[in-house]
Structure 1
């Protein structure tokens, strides 16, 4: 392999990827902690008054588990990033301790700011659970961090030597995370109208909704599939990884729906329109990867924006309305706001990155 190719391959760095994931996850925690960012008021309380309060009257094991698990990935990612973030590498235990302290500090800041949000109740129990989650994640980094880094490095052989592909990998992770929401259409993204609570401009009948749902799913599936294909090294076959990727997305969707709504509705989102759109998207992805990479890149951007336009013209999803009625909003309101934000903004974040992605000339 030539020197330029070696430099390009080094540009896909597992350490940089971990740093990006840590920053992105911290940003998600801040958004989820302060959602819906409205109704700010001064209740004549200090931001540290929650520390003086008694043990919360109402709490459940679910709340404890959710607060603990929410900060576990943050502690894991921070410990790995700190441990490998410089030429003079920090030893595992100090990195884990610092990561746990950062997680605790972030939780303390979020609980303090929630003092001015009427929809949020700051709690010392939440701070304790969040801190424990960050510490547990940091401990996992000490125990299995080296294995995780080795696994990431081994996965590098599947990736094309594209500069800053780490950012696209993070965005693909965000796309999978957005599939956790049973409110959105399958693979749907870019619904700014829903994010801004703007009513549908057109009243569609059942047949029209079937057609537009099919088109939205086919466009988005084709776009994300081409993006994944663009990142894969050309010597590898594309069919297997794409099938595995979309199977994972559907499993995530089914499990999230079973947990957040009810088990009996785990695959209710697989409507006739969703099934047809998936088949059309699969057919397109069996042919379009045969085109040159630059054509694939352009078509991915085209399908991405077409899907975003269509989803903003579509009527409200009747299934999502039924699912939302079944949600335990006290537990999932902030999670729903987070997944809706990611799904709504994802195409507009992915398009600039996709536009500036460049493969080495010998791969085009």
Structure 2
């Protein structure tokens, strides 16, 4: 019998994507000066220790963090931890040096040795983060040999809804101003404990879905690729920015995955069901300032769309896909717990309906039939996917993970 093939790593492709993003953000708008002459030494003579503003300094560090992270994961396959960190920092510094020299020939860009030092520091911090990720990953004891994985169509749909939520409104905006705007919330970060827990719960659901789709040796790498895709989307999609609470949740994510990986399947899945129910309650009813007066209930779905003359641009796609993901997540984790699809569907639809009825007593909310209708739609889609499948068996359950964005 032939030995199982080792799955190819996607880290080189992720590293290449990060390098391309850095080069684009550093050299945009590529309007090279026609009147600059001289070779390398002439360009080096124009580098100075000019000090940038606080926001630019933070941006220079943040931009190279993912590069150091990816380079460490790439180099750690051949080098020990210390040399891998040093080599990653050196390679990141060389890339930064090349870009700073290239900026000599680009209008409206200021080449600076200060930027080079900050980029090197960001690469070093990213490499240290990669070392921490790799160390925690080893605690999972994932096998090196891939086994045949039974695909879960509901898990694929759930990940698709998550990405649609994060990439809405699906309008790319690729320029330097957008990159800086996306990073701006990180210059003066504020953290809300509840928001961090919401993000963490959503990412734990995503991790659980990944575990239902890919073989065990590829789970953490696939999760890392999804995280990278979402974060890159925050840089490139119009009106989207980084959320400090989300980044903090991502720092807590792998330790939580390791912890939940060590739990037995039943309590692990039960904890995830309770977490998703709590998330929905907080999202829809917080801050729970109920009023004794009853407001109206809108029985006409998608009223904003109707009032706009069926203009699809008037729809808040972030909100729509967010609700679809949360309702789908509740149905899916209940089914993962061992319930039938119809039972999970009924519980999810009941929760959505009860929450919407309770919003009648919330002055800041507009109770509507729209949310239960969205829950019904996503439930019917899941039900069609699982039409010929039984409930999820409890034995040999995969690990957990989740997070959500506002």
TM class by smaller structure: 0.3 to 0.5
The two structures have a TM-score, normalised by structure 1, of 0.47
Tell me the TM-score normalized by structure 2.
0.43
Q: Where is the helix percentage greater, Structure 1 or Structure 2?
A: 1
Structure number, greater radius of gyration = 2
